[in-house]
């Protein structure tokens, strides 16, 4: 099987050198596409390295995570795509394990940062994730553990058939909702996760959470009508 790894980044000058080093250790048959979403720090300079084997796309301004992923998918040459953030909250070393799961199951693979049995950190981010996940499962009659996890592996044509509209962080919820509405089988795989703080570069804001909730309700209402 062939894979294209799609990674959007925005202002990641501190973590980017480590990310590139880890990406360079991946098998040569994985096409790596990095989308610089209008960074205004030194990210562009770091990516402007003629020795990099990766495909680098540069947005003229900060259009958003969803926009960047969709642009990356359009440039992907391989049959299957791997979606993952470039902030190192999830270790790039997880990719070979996820690919093995994809090969053996032939389902859409979705990462899970924590299981239902794991202990929760009682902070605003964790509680927000829990509420959104609970709401999603109630509305869509599902039993998913982590709908907002960025890690996914699926067929490129399947992703394009979802006709994703979200240009921001809402892409995760929209993708999961549309997969369920299409009755696509999903396999959850636990991954190692280390959350960043806002000071370390965490980008998600409260307004993004409200937009995600709006998308969840909107798609459900469209289905009912």
Query: Using 50, 70 and 90 to split pLDDT, how confident is the model at 225?
Result: low
pLDDT at 175 over 50: yes
What distance in Å separates the CA atoms of residue 176 and residue 223, rounded to the nearest whole number?
Answer: 14
pLDDT at 44 over 90: yes
Residue 224: enclosing H or E segment and its boundaries? helix 206-224
pLDDT at 169 over 80: yes
pLDDT at 201 over 50: no
What distance in Å separates the CA atoms of residue 55 and residue 34, rounded to the nearest whole number?
Answer: 6
Per DSSP, 10 falls in state S
pLDDT, tens digit, 9 for 90 and up, residues 68-81 = 999 999 999 999 99
Q: Residue 121: what pLDDT? A: 57
Q: Produce one character per residue of 140-176: b if its CB has 16 or more CB atoms within 10 Å, e if not.
A: beeebbbbbbbbbbbbbeebeebebebebbbbbbbbb
Q: Residue 122: what pLDDT? A: 55
Q: How far is CA 187 from the centre of its chain?
A: 15
pLDDT, tens digit, 9 for 90 and up, residues 1-39 = 899 999 999 999 999 999 999 999 999 889 999 999 999
Q: Residue 147: what pLDDT? A: 95
What architecture is the 3-224 domain classified under in CATH? Answer: Alpha-Beta Complex (3.90)
Q: What percent of the chain has pLDDT over 70?
A: 88
Query: Using 50, 70 and 90 to split pLDDT, how confident is the model at 206?
Result: low
Are the beta carbons of 86 and 12 closer than 8 angstroms? yes
Q: Residue 199: what pLDDT? A: 55
pLDDT at 198 over 60: no
Average pLDDT over residues 130-153: 95
Position with higher pLDDT, 107 vs 199: 107
DSSP letter string over 131-197? HHHHHHHHHHT---S-TT---EEEEHHHHHHT-----STTHHHHHHHHHHHTT--EEEEE--B-PPP
Q: Residue 200: what pLDDT? A: 47
What distance in Å separates the CA atoms of residue 80 and residue 54, rounded to the nearest whole number?
Answer: 17
Boundaries of every domain in the chain: 3-224
Radius of gyration of the chain (CA): 17
- Minimum mean pLDDT among 12-26, 38-52, 54-68, 167-181: which range? 38-52
Are the beta carbons of 46 and 20 closer than 8 angstroms? yes
pLDDT, tens digit, 9 for 90 and up, residues 109-137 = 999 987 554 445 555 567 778 899 999 99
What distance in Å separates the CA atoms of residue 159 and residue 173, rounded to the nearest whole number?
Answer: 13
Mean pLDDT of the chain: 89
Are the beta carbons of 81 and 154 closer than 8 angstroms? yes
Q: Residue 114: what pLDDT? A: 75
Half-sphere exposure of 103 (CA within 13 A, CB side): 9
pTM of the entire structure? 0.90
Please classify residue 35 by burial: count the beta carbons closer than 10 Å to its beta carbon, then call 0-12 exposed, 13-18 middle and 19+ buried.
buried
């Amino acid at each position: 099987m062939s894979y294209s790894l799609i990674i959007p980044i925005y202002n990641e000058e501190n973590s980017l050198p480590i990310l590139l080093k880890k990406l360079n250790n991946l098998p040569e048959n994985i096409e790596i596409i990095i989308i610089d979403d209008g960074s205004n720090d030194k990210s562009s300079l770091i990516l402007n390295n003629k020795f990099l084997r990766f495909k680098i796309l540069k947005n003229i301004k900060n259009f958003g995570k969803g926009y960047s992923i969709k642009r990356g998918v359009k440039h992907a040459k391989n049959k299957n795509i791997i979606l993952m953030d470039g902030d190192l909250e999830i270790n790039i070393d997880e990719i070979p394990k996820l690919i093995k799961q994809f090969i053996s199951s032939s389902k859409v693979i979705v990462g899970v940062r924590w299981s239902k049995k794991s202990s929760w950190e009682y902070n605003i981010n964790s509680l927000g994730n829990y509420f959104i996940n609970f709401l999603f499962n109630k509305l869509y009659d599902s039993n998913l553990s982590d709908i907002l996890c960025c890690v996914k592996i699926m067929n490129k044509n399947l992703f394009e058939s979802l006709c994703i509209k979200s240009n921001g962080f809402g892409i995760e919820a929209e993708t999961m909702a549309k997969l369920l509405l299409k009755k696509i089988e999903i396999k959850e795989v636990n991954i190692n996760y280390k959350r960043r703080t806002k000071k370390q570069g965490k980008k998600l804001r409260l307004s993004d959470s409200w937009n995600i909730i709006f998308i969840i309700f909107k798609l459900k209402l469209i289905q009912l009508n």
